[in-house]
């Protein structure tokens, strides 16, 4: 179905990854705002014709408002959407109730100033009055409090509701992207507000402003089963981290992986699916009952990995293929690390969340489900659904084009949202808007 083209702007845009999904749902972005210049350089190449605001949003917000108002007044069009992905690094993992209780008792918590960036974003929203607003952030946003303009400690979600009421209605939804056929387990908080009558009728009738899941872990009840990482990656040529010759396949762009040294390759190549190399058993005698790696809480309640996990086989005494370090006396001990480090993905599940460290075997569950290596960038682009859209990894610096480094691509994947979900969300909102969705 072809939807009416709607004007949109993006705040805290990153490299515009989520926005390419919204663009596919017929949202035309006329302006982007981003602090980091290298991300904005990617947007400039992939969203030609838009306006770009680089810098601190506290300083650029009035420029954004003036520009968008001028553009809309010249065409007579409305602003359909503002997409807002405020920084998440400072979002709290602590209980919101505990923080507020301590504050009332005079124990004022130390708050991350980055969390207050939602305030200038709300100022922009209040001034431009888009028809819809999408906030995308980590689940911890539910528990995060900030200091408002009056010096009061408030929940971010409560502040959003307060600032946008009564014109807008909406809610925050915990979303697992694997529930939408995306071959990656990644949870985010998607908050949607709208001032359109159709959306408000849907909301007040018990409908939701995010699409309903199409998949579940086991399937059934009208839902499909999650898309597994092995299913998603089955078309990729095999690679191996043993040496440079087999670690690259030039027929597929970005299909290459780092070579592992012999010691790490031994650990990885002996790791079964869904298990960590810290649990590997003896390859010399076949004894498979050596104690596995574990964690426990210390006196402060902090989870710590065991430091006494054996690295020598209890049956034959040979060195186990487990991550280890050499001591001064010539013996080996277990390497410091958690049970999820050097862990192979489960082939029958979607991949774990892709972070900027997906190219490192020592990171959390980053080993390929079958082959002896980490994921290639090409595979990560597939699992993150970016490869399903037109997006070129080319930076535009003052009109001069240059290729993007692998490090920046990994960073962008780790900090962005799968664009397929944003396309589904955009289409869901379009369906409600056009009366094509029964709730």
pLDDT tens string 159-212: 999 999 999 999 999 999 999 999 999 999 999 999 999 999 999 999 999 999
Q: Which residues, 6 or more positions from 55, have their beta carbon under 8 angstroms from its beta carbon?
A: 35
Say if residues 343 and 353 touch (Cβ distance below 8 Å): no
Please report how the helices 156-164 and 118-128 are oriented relative to each other, as an axis angle in degrees rounded to 10.
20
Residues 365, 352: contact at Cβ < 8 Å? yes
Of 379, 372, 336, residue with least CA distance to 354: 379
- pLDDT in the model for residue 89: 63
Residue 439: pLDDT band (50, 70, 90) is: low
Rounded distance between C-alpha atoms, residue 329 and residue 331, angstroms: 6
3: pLDDT strictly greater than 90: no
- Which helix or strand (DSSP H or E) is residue 86 part of? none
DSSP 223-236: BEEPPPHHHHHTTS
- Sequence-distant (6+) residues with CB within 8 A of 180 are 211, 213, 214, 215, 420, 421, 424
Where on the phi/psi map is residue 107: left (φ > 0), alpha (ψ -120 to 50), or beta? beta
225: phi then psi, degrees, rounded to nearest 5? -75, 150
**20: number of Cβ within 10 Å:** 24
Contact, 287 vs 281, CB < 8 A? yes
| Kind of pairing between the strands at 169-176 and 332-334 | unpaired
Instruction: State the average pLDDT over residues 370-395.
Output: 97
Give mean pLDDT, residues 371-389.
98
Give the mean model confidence (pLDDT) for residues 205-224: 96
Domain 6-223+396-433: CATH class, spelled out:
alpha beta
> Which residue is listed with tokens 């504050």?
103
Side-chain half-sphere CA neighbours of 385 within 13 A: 27
pTM of structure? 0.91
Which residue intervals of 245-360 are DSSP H helices? 262-269
Half-sphere exposure of 265 (CA within 13 A, CB side): 11
Question: pLDDT confidence of 96, banded at 50, 70, 90?
Answer: very low
Cα 191 to Cα 211: distance, rounded to the nearest angstrom: 12
Q: Of 86, 145, 124, which Cα lies nearest the Cα of 8?
A: 124
How sure is the predictor about 88, in pLDDT bands with cuts at 50, 70 and 90?
A: low
Per-residue pLDDT of 255-264, as tens digits, reads 999 999 999 9
pLDDT over 80 at 63, yes or no:
yes
Query: Comparing 60-74, 136-150, 350-364, which segment has the lowest mean pLDDT?
Result: 136-150
pLDDT in tens, 399-428: 889 999 999 999 999 999 999 999 999 999
Residue with tokens 């520009």: 67
CB atoms within 10 A of CB 240: 17
Residues in contact with 325: Cβ distance below 8 Å, sequence separation at least 6, in sequence order: 332, 333, 335
The SS3 of residue 237 is coil
Q: What percent of the chain has pLDDT over 70?
A: 92
Could you give the CA distance from residue 258 to residue 382 in angstroms, rounded to a whole number? Answer: 19
> Among residues 203, 118, 122, 131, which one has the least CA distance to residue 167?
131
Q: Where are the domains of the chain?
A: 6-223+396-433, 237-375
Position 102 pLDDT exceeds 60? no
């Amino acid at each position: 179905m072809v939807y009416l083209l709607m004007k949109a702007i993006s705040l805290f845009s990153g490299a515009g990854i989520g926005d390419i999904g919204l663009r596919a749902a017929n949202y035309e972005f006329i302006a982007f705002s981003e602090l980091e210049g290298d991300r904005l350089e990617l947007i400039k190449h992939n969203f030609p014709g838009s306006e770009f605001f680089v810098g601190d949003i506290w300083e650029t917000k009035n420029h954004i408002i003036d520009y968008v108002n001028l553009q809309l007044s010249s065409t007579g069009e409305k602003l359909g959407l503002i997409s807002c992905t405020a920084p998440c690094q400072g979002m709290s993992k602590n209980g919101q109730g505990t923080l507020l209780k301590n504050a009332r008792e005079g124990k004022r918590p130390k708050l991350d100033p980055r969390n207050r960036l939602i305030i200038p974003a709300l100022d922009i929203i209040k001034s431009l009055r888009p028809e819809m607003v999408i906030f995308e952030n980590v689940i911890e946003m539910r528990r995060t409090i900030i200091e408002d303009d009056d010096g009061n400690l408030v929940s971010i979600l409560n502040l959003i509701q307060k600032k946008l009421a009564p014109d807008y209605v909406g809610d925050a939804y915990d979303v697992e992207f694997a529930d939408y056929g995306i071959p990656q387990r990644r949870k985010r908080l998607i908050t949607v507000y709208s001032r359109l009558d159709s959306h408000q009728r849907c909301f007040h009738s018990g409908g939701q402003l995010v699409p309903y899941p199409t998949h579940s872990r086991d399937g059934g009840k009208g839902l499909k089963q999650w898309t597994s990482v092995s299913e998603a990656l089955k078309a990729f040529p095999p690679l191996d981290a043993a040496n440079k010759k087999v670690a690259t396949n030039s027929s597929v762009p970005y299909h290459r992986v780092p070579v592992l040294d012999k010691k790490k390759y031994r650990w990885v190549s002996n790791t079964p699916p869904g298990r960590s190399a810290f649990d590997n058993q003896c390859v010399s005698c076949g004894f498979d009952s050596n104690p596995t790696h574990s964690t426990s809480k210390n006196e402060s309640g902090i989870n710590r990995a065991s430091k006494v996990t054996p690295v020598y086989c209890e049956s034959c005494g040979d060195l186990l293929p487990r991550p280890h370090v050499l001591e001064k006396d010539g013996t080996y001990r277990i390497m410091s690390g958690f049970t999820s480090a050097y862990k192979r993905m489960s082939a029958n599940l979607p991949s774990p969340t892709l972070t900027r460290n997906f190219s490192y075997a020592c990171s959390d569950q980053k080993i390929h489900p079958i082959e002896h290596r980490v994921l290639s960038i090409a595979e990560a682009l597939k699992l993150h659904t970016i490869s399903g859209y037109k997006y070129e990894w080319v930076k535009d610096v003052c009109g001069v084009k240059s290729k993007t480094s692998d490090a920046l691509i990994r960073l962008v994947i780790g900090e962005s949202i799968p664009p397929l979900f944003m396309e589904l969300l955009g289409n869901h909102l379009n369906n409600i808007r056009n009366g094509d969705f029964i709730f």
